[in-house]
């Protein structure tokens, strides 16, 4: 979705509060919105679900300086499409940004660009609160039987700050601990790396007073704080600068393995299996240069390398044990780039042929997902 900058005046858009859009932002939006569409399609087809909620706690101004839509505006477009296809379901977008001018811009775009073609079962609510106050509102709603987390409603919470020292992790912890929902959180690792040594309390406050000694300890602390309540699965995808320095990770947390499966599908759809996104990568990567000589598709080469990594991980983790497929799947989905459809053929069957694992055949020989495996 794009609004020509030439039309900003017609829409009443104040371009002084619009951000420039980096390459990583373009791909981040593609990734998140691809997942949101698939998540919403799954939820809307569940009989018990009557309302699908997307909650963007730091939604920005609607568009960037080039006129391209931000994540929340793209999601509104997706929800409007689905609302017309599923008129008996409600689609609700909750938006917040601390900058009231950004919210004013967003509302003008929404009123002029979306409302004239809006389905009646699409609702949009806007606030201009500090993100932590807004998270407190979400926490309070969880105590209301008719609130966001009431029976028949599903929720995806998106938190995309400009740096790490903004969002108090304890607020996210409290939401996830008490409610069944999913989370996409932009974990700004580069802010931690640049500023932790000279931190005056900004970063440490967001960590509840904890001061990690290393980047890995920082990441592990945040992941563990979010892996509470119903949350059983997490995954992080990294975005790098042109110099290959990590900017941030989009951290995903879900109660449901199906959510993680869909997320991995989205990653492969958007990034072709790249281990991370790197800005302004050369048109011919190192992997692709090799492939020019050996005629191997770069995606196939990545798949082979990831499969080798997955074999090593599960053989070390489960040595001497009998393990169900679901446990193996979780390990591979959380710790490698592989998606669910890439587990049986590239990983399990070769290990069986190599006699490193044995299929227990508790079910039909052709049924791999319902069986257990003995690791030699």
The secondary element (H helix, E strand) that includes residue 349 is helix 349-353
Per-residue pLDDT band for 171 (boundaries 50, 70, 90) equals very high
Name every residue whose Cβ is closer than 8 Å to that of residue 85 and which is 6 or more positions away in sequence: none
* Closest C-alpha to 163, from 102, 219, 226, 206: 206
Token couple for 73 = 């505006």
Distance CA 365, CA 370 (A): 10
- Match 């699908």 to its residue by tokens: 52
> 311-327: buried (b, 16+ CB within 10 Å) or exposed (e) per residue?
bebbeeebeeeebebee
| Average pLDDT estimate for 310-322 | 98
- Judged by average pLDDT, the poorest of 2-6, 222-226, 279-283 is 279-283
Give the mean model confidence (pLDDT) for residues 4-23. 87
Enumerate domains of the chain plus CATH numbers: 5-278 (3.40.50), 292-375 (1.10.10)
pLDDT confidence of 184, banded at 50, 70, 90? very high
Lookup: tokens for 28? 């981040």
Give the C-alpha separation, 356 to 201, whole Å: 51
pLDDT single digits (tens) 237-259: 999 999 999 999 999 999 999 99
The overall pTM is greater than 0.75: yes
The residue written with tokens 């030439």 in the block is 6
Q: What is the mean pLDDT of residues 304-310?
A: 97
């Amino acid at each position: 979705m794009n609004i020509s900058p030439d039309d900003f005046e017609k829409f009443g858009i104040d371009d002084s509060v619009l951000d420039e859009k980096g390459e990583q932002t373009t791909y981040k939006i593609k990734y998140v919105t691809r997942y949101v569409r698939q998540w919403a399609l799954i939820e809307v087809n569940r009989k018990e679900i009557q309302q699908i909620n997307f909650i963007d706690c730091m939604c920005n101004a609607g568009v960037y300086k080039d006129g391209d839509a931000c994540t929340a505006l793209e999601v509104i477009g997706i929800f409007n499409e689905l609302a017309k296809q599923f008129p008996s379901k409600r689609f609700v977008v909750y938006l917040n940004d601390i900058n009231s001018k950004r919210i004013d811009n967003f509302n003008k775009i929404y009123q002029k660009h979306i409302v004239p073609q809006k389905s009646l079962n699409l609702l949009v609510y806007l606030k201009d609160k500090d993100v932590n106050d807004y998270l407190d509102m979400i926490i309070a709603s969880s105590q209301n039987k008719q609130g966001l987390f009431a029976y028949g409603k599903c929720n995806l919470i998106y938190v995309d700050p400009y740096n790490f020292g903004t969002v108090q992790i304890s607020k996210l912890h409290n939401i996830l601990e008490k409610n069944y929902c999913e989370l996409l959180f932009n974990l700004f690792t580069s802010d931690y790396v640049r500023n932790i040594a000279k931190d005056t309390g900004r970063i440490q406050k967001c960590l509840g007073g904890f001061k990690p000694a290393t980047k890995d300890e920082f990441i592990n602390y945040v992941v563990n704080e979010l892996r509470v309540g119903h949350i059983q699965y997490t995954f992080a995808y990294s975005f790098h600068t042109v110099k290959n320095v990590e900017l941030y990770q989009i951290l995903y947390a879900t109660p449901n393995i199906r959510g993680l499966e869909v997320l991995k599908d989205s990653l492969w759809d958007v990034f072709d299996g790249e281990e991370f996104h790197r800005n302004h990568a050369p048109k011919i990567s190192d992997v692709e240069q090799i492939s020019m000589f050996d005629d191997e598709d770069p995606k196939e080469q990545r798949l082979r390398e990831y499969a080798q990594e997955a074999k090593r991980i599960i053989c070390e983790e489960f040595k001497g044990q009998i393990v169900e497929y679901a446990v193996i799947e979780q390990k591979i989905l959380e710790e490698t780039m592989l998606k669910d459809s890439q587990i049986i053929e590239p990983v399990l069957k070769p290990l069986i042929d190599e006699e490193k694992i044995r299929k227990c055949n508790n079910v039909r020989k052709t049924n791999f997902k319902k069986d257990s495996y003995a690791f030699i």
